[in-house]
Amino acid sequence: MNWLRHLVLRWGARNFSLVCPHCRHPASSSTFRRGRYMLGDETLVCDACGETSVVTFWRFEGLSCRADRTDARQCAPLPNSRH
């Protein structure tokens, strides 16, 4: 039954947006395809800045950008990000 729980967790997280926690760029389509079914402790590499972070941080940043948009602010890349 543990495999069923694992499958449900992956399925539930599939549509959360992914945004790099370092440079705040949204995930590219290939990065999103790789990361959409990943769970919290798996790592994902940003195409824009090359930094690696766990998927939980990517999803948290995506959710915070969504909350920012409701306050009429945009989730823009940080101006001093390393490329």
Q: What is the pLDDT of residue 43?
A: 93
Phi, psi of 52 (to 5 degrees): -110, 135
Model pLDDT for residues 37-63, shown as the tens digit of each residue? 888 789 999 999 999 999 989 988 988
Assess contact for 18 and 58: CB atoms under 8 A.
Answer: yes
Q: What is the pLDDT of residue 72?
A: 42
Is the pTM higher than 0.75? The answer reads no
Assess contact for 21 and 49: CB atoms under 8 A.
Answer: no
Question: Any idea where the domains of the chain sit in the sequence?
Answer: 14-70
What are the DSSP E strand ranges found in 1-83?
43-45, 52-54
**Rounded distance, CA 51 to CA 71, Å?**
28
Model pLDDT for residues 17-42, shown as the tens digit of each residue? 899 999 999 999 999 998 888 887 89
